[in-house]
Amino acid sequence: MENEVLMERFEQLVKTPDAGELKIFLDDQLITDIAELVYEEPDHAPLIFKHLSLSRATAVFRILEFPTQEEIIRALPPAKIAELLNELPPDDRTAFLEELPSQVVQELIKLLDPEERKVTLSLLGYPESSVGRIMTPDYIAAKEHWTVAKVLSHIRMYGRDSETIDVIYIIDNNGRLLDDFRIREFLLVSPETVVSSLMDDRFVALHVNDEQEEAIQVFRLENRVALPVLDDKGVMLGIVTIDDMLWIANEEHTEDVQKIGGTEALDEPYLDMPLLSLIKKRVGWLIILFIGEMLTASVMTYFEDEIAKAVVLALFIPLIISSGGNSGSQASTLIIQAMALGELTIKDWWRVMRREIASGIMLGSVLGLIGFIRIIIWNQFFHTYGEHTILIALTLGVSLIGVVLWGTLSGSMLPLILKRAGADPASSSAPFVATLVDVTGLLIYFSVAYLFLRGILL
C-alpha cells in the first residue's frame, strides 16, 4: 500500500511545473524507496537522478542492478555522468565498468578526474576474479610513532572519505603494513599512548591476486568487517569490505545453483537475458546430457536378449534409474555445498568416501527392502511376477543397494575430482551425475539379474 501511495505521489509531482516540490519529495524518501521508484518508472529515471543530491544519487546507483545502471548512464547528460562516476567508490565504479563493452569504458574513463582515472585504471588492470578488482584505496592509515590522540585527530580529518573507519591500519614509510587495530582499541586507552606500544605485529591480510572466492572464506573464518590487501612486498594497496564480500558470495552462490541445475552461469538477471543468449547457456549441457543418455539405450540394446527372455526386468528400469540418479544428485549437492562453505577440502576425500560408502549401503538397503516387500505384497494380490517372485524381488533389492551405493560414491567423488583437476566443482551438476549413474546403474542391474536368474529366466 505504501508503495502505491509513493508511486501515485511521484506521478503527480512529475506533472507539476514546480521542480522544487519533486526535489523535496525525493529527499524525504529512503534510498531503497527511490531505487524502487527507478525500477517502477524507468522512463523517469534520468529525472529522478537530476533532482537528487550527488551523494544520494550515488547511494541509489550503487544498489541498482547492472542493466538498470547501464540504462541510466545512457540517458544522463555527460556532465551528470562525470559527477556520478567520480563520486562512486572505486570498487563500485570498477564493478560497473567491467560489465560494459571496452569502447564504452574508454569513453567513460575520459570523464573521470585524473586521480580517479588513475585509481580506476589500476583496479581494472587486475585479473577479473581477483581481490584487486574489488578493493578500494580509501582507508585510514596511521604511523607507529603517532600517539592515539593524533590517530583520532587524523580520523576526524580524513575519515569522511574512507570506506570504513572501523579498522585503522599501521604502515611504515614505504607503505608496508605493520599492524591493524579496531577503532575501539584506540578509544579505550589514554590519548597519550604511542601506537607502537599497542602493536603485536599480528594481522590477517589478502594478496591482491587472491581469488575472490578464497577471500570469502577468510572473511568467514576471521569474522572481519574489512581486510587489507597487499602486494608481493607487503605494501598495502587497499582494503576489501564485508559488503563487497556479501555481494560476491551472493553471485558465487547464484552461479553454483545455476551450474548444479545443468546450465552455464547467467551473466544477467533471467528476465533481462536475451532469449538466444539464454538458449546458448542451456543447450551445451543439454547436448552433453543427451549424448550421455544415448549410452543408456546402448546398454539396453546390449541386454536385449535378457529383456526378451524376462520382460519383467524392464518393469523396474525406471525405478533403478531414478534411485541411482537421485542418490547421486543428493551426494553431489551436499559435497559441493560443503566445499563452498569451506567445510571440507580435497584432502578429506578418504573421509568422504568412507562416509558415502556407509551411507550408500544403508540408503540402498532401505530402498532395496522397500522394493523387495513391494514385489512380494503386489504379487500376493495380483500374481504379476509368477513363480519366481522371490528371485525377482531379490534381484531388485540387491540391485538397488549396488546402484544407490554407486550413485552416492559418484556424486560425492566427482566434485572432488573436478576440484583437483582445477575445474569448478559445481560443474559436476546433478543432471550430469544422474546421467552417469543411469548408464552404470543399468549395468549393475542386469549383472545382478544375470547372477540371480541365470538358468531360470535367463
Distances (CA, A) of 43 to 48, 69, 71, 241: 10, 13, 10, 34
Do residues 183 and 198 lie in contact, with contact meaning Cβ atoms separated by under 8 Å? no
What's the confidence (pLDDT) of residue 428?
Answer: 56
Q: Which helix (H) or strand (E) holds 162?
A: none
Report which residue type is found at 308. A
Task: Name the helix (H) or strand (E) containing 445.
Answer: helix 430-453
CB 378 within 8 A of CB 439: no
Which distant-in-sequence residues (6+ apart) come within 8 Å of 164 by Cβ? 139, 225, 226, 239, 241
Could you say which residues of the chain have pLDDT below 50?
1
pLDDT at 176: 92
Cell triple for 441 = 546403474
Q: Which domains does the chain show, CATH number per domain?
A: 2-128 (1.25.60.10), 141-241 (3.10.580.10), 270-453 (1.10.357.20)
DSSP strand pairing (206-207 vs 226-230): parallel
The predicted structure's pLDDT at residue 1:
40
> Rounded CA gap, 208 and 175, in Å?
15
pLDDT of residue 262: 59
Per 3-state DSSP, the chain is made up of helix, strand and coil in percentages (nearest 5) of 70, 5, 20
Look at residue 436 in the predicted model and tell me its pLDDT: 81
- pLDDT at position 242: 87
